């Protein structure tokens, strides 16, 4: 009996050591792209640039009957132009999420996600959200340090080569004035944009036999972007 217990413990230790030694390699940094704001967009207001490679920016979740898949990225690159007249109103913007930066914690699954069966990263390397306007902007809180607004983001989501117009109600936009506190984290004035929405895979031309069983028909996204008036 003692032998059995010792041997079982040895197997457990060996499995644990193998697991510990095989931590996956860091992904290539997909954020090293220069952000260029088209002149027409820049002319609409005050431009802000995404602060990339820091806090989590996108979290996605697929809740299917047979499997629950969670993933994240902090490699979103882009800009937003804030209206100079209407506080908290984004009048133009574009955010690019590199498909290969989406990490679920399982390397093979990440490869499948980027493959031609799913998001097809070779043909469509980024998920792109282009903001056209912001509706229903309401100031919800204001202090000396910041102003928070609730709003509906309106734009076009391009995924898997298909572009569709979407509206994201219940979004939160917070403008943090430049201060000693913000300077510790990033240069310039900072804005935070928070949105939650879901994407129906079928709408974007993604079909696969496992959709509805191991992958949900609708994938929920939680987006939390920070942008600065000074490129970081």
Partner 1 sequence: MQARTRNFILIGGGVVIVGALVAFLATGMYPYTRFKSESIANANAETDLTNLLAESGADQAPPPAAVDNVNALGFLPSGPGAASLSVVTLAVPAMMAMAGAWFWERRGRRSEPRAASK
Does residue number 108 form part of the binding site for partner 1 (CB under 8 A)? yes
Binder of partner 1 out of 42, 44, 46, 61 (CB under 8 A) = 61
For 150, residues 6+ apart whose C-beta sits below 8 A from its C-beta are 136, 137, 138, 140, 170, 171, 172, 173
Give the angle subtended at the CA of 135 by the CAs of 130 and 138, to the nearest 5°: 125
The answer to whether 59 and 70 are in contact (CB under 8 A) is yes
Query: Which residues from 127-166 bind partner 1, rule CB under 8 A?
Result: 140-141, 143, 145-146, 148
Minimum distance between the CB of residue 61 and partner 1, rounded to whole angstroms?
A: 8
The answer to whether 56 and 72 are in contact (CB under 8 A) is yes
Instruction: Give how far the C-alpha of residue 65 lies from the chain's centroid of Cα atoms, to the nearest Å.
Output: 24
Minimum distance between the CB of residue 214 and partner 1, rounded to whole angstroms?
A: 10
How far is 2 from 36, CA to CA, in rounded Å?
Answer: 68
Please identify which residue in the block is written with the tokens 């399982």.
106
Does residue number 194 form part of the binding site for partner 1 (CB under 8 A)? yes
Candidate segments 33-41, 71-79, 120-128, 200-208, binder of partner 1 by CB under 8 A: 71-79
Binder of partner 1 out of 32, 38, 55, 165 (CB under 8 A) = 55
How far is 192 from 180, CA to CA, in rounded Å?
Answer: 17
Candidate segments 1-9, 84-92, 124-132, 200-208, binder of partner 1 by CB under 8 A: 1-9
Query: Which residues from 202-221 bind partner 1, rule CB under 8 A?
Result: none
Instruction: Give how far the C-alpha of residue 148 lies from the chain's centroid of Cα atoms, to the nearest Å.
Output: 21
Does residue number 230 form part of the binding site for partner 1 (CB under 8 A)? no
Candidate segments 85-93, 113-121, 126-134, 183-191, binder of partner 1 by CB under 8 A: 183-191
How far is 83 from 44, CA to CA, in rounded Å?
Answer: 7
Best CA proximity match to 193, nearest among 41, 84, 76, 98: 76
How far is 82 from 165, CA to CA, in rounded Å?
Answer: 20
Binder of partner 1 out of 41, 45, 49, 58 (CB under 8 A) = 58
Q: What does the binding site for partner 1 look like in residue numbers (CB under 8 A)?
A: 3-4, 7-12, 14-16, 18-27, 51, 54-59, 61, 67, 70-74, 101, 103-109, 140-141, 143, 145-146, 148, 172, 174, 176, 181-182, 184-186, 190, 192, 194, 196, 222-224, 226
């Amino acid at each position: 009996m003692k032998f059995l217990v010792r041997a079982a413990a040895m197997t457990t230790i060996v499995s644990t050591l193998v697991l510990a030694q095989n931590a996956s390699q860091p992904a290539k940094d997909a954020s090293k792209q220069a952000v260029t704001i088209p002149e027409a967009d820049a002319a609409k207001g005050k431009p802000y640039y995404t602060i990339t490679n820091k806090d989590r920016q996108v979290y996605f979740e697929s809740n299917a009957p047979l499997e629950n898949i969670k993933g994240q990225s902090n490699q979103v690159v882009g800009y937003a132009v804030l209206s100079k007249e209407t506080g908290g109103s984004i009048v133009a913007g574009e955010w690019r999420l590199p498909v290969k930066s989406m990490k679920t914690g399982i390397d093979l699954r990440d490869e499948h996600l980027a493959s031609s069966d799913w998001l097809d990263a070779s043909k469509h390397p980024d998920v792109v959200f282009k903001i056209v306007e912001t509706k229903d902007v309401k100031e919800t809180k204001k202090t000396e340090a910041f102003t928070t607004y609730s709003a509906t983001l309106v734009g076009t989501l391009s995924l898997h080569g298909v572009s569709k117009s979407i509206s994201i109600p219940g979004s939160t936009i917070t403008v943090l004035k430049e201060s000693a506190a913000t300077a510790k984290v990033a240069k310039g004035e900072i804005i935070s944009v928070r949105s939650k929405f879901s994407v129906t895979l079928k709408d974007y031309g993604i079909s696969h036999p496992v959709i509805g069983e191991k992958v949900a028909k609708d994938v929920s996204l939680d987006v939390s972007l920070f942008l600065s008036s000074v490129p970081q």
